Amino acid sequence: ERRADVAGRVADLVEFALDDIRRLPFMTREDWMACQAEKPLFGDMITRPEQDAIRYHLTSGTSGRQPLRVLDSRKDWSWIADMWCYGFWGFGIRPSDKVFFAFSYGSFIGFWGAHYCCEKLGCLTLASGNMTTEQRVKQIVEMGVTVVCATPTYALRMGQTAEKMGIDLRKDGRVRRVVVSGEPAGSIPAVKKMIEEMWG
């Protein structure tokens, strides 16, 4: 039985109890990939008509598998930004912060939600999609950036590049938070320590 059919019946219940959650079938990445492969482009388990979508993104595909295609409605996108807001506020990010996004700004979903979160919070948001690593390091210092968002490996690369440029990010920069995502390396204590040592 298809997960979408079962979920639809559960969602139609007027009285929804906590125990009903156990009846909901969870969809895995493999389920989603198979669905999109069987019925391109988006599969047959999309939750809204395609014309309701305002954004199209892809997952990274770094696992060597086909990237997932994602359509988001205006409501979805607002919710995504709100969820990032809860996290960023919990990290100590405030409207007075200058937040630098070191990612490509292509169709990869990456930090898009975080970008709109920072706009909602009232932060000055700096995009760097077309910059070289050297240009990014220079702008981070020149603009007095206080928060940097990057993958863990790219945060390390920027730190190494800064050293080659003769810039000590701990002394010359104002960064007080480095937010990493997109790779598991940010959870590895040795990598976390290296990032902290480079960025202060």
pLDDT at 2 over 60: no
pLDDT at 1 over 70: no
Query: Considering the chain, what is the average pLDDT of its residues?
Result: 89
pLDDT at 81 over 80: yes
Residues 144 and 125: their CA atoms lie apart, in Å, by 12
Residue predicted with more confidence, 71 or 27: 71
Are the C-beta atoms of residues 170 and 200 closer than 8 Å to each other? yes
Highest averaged pLDDT of the listed ranges 68-72, 164-168, 185-189: 164-168
Tokens 């125990």 -> residue:
19
Are the C-beta atoms of residues 129 and 102 closer than 8 Å to each other? no
CATH assignment, 77-199: 3.40.50.12780
Tokens 């976390």 -> residue:
192
Q: Give this prediction's pTM.
A: 0.82
Least confident of 5-9, 19-23, 119-123, 192-196: 5-9
Task: List, by residue range, all CATH 3.40.50.12780 domains of the chain.
Answer: 77-199
pLDDT at 162 over 80: yes
What does the pLDDT average to over 120-148? 97
Q: What pLDDT was estimated at residue 7? A: 52
pLDDT at 190 over 60: yes
Phi-psi region of 57 (alpha: psi -120 to 50; beta: other; left: phi over 0): beta
Spatial strand order in the sheet of 98-101:
124-127, 98-101, 147-150, 177-180
Residues 182 and 12: their CA atoms lie apart, in Å, by 35
- Burial pattern 143-182, b for ≥16 Cβ within 10 A else e, equals eebbbbbbbbebbbbbbebbeeeebebeeebebebbbbeb
Residues 112 and 104: their CA atoms lie apart, in Å, by 10
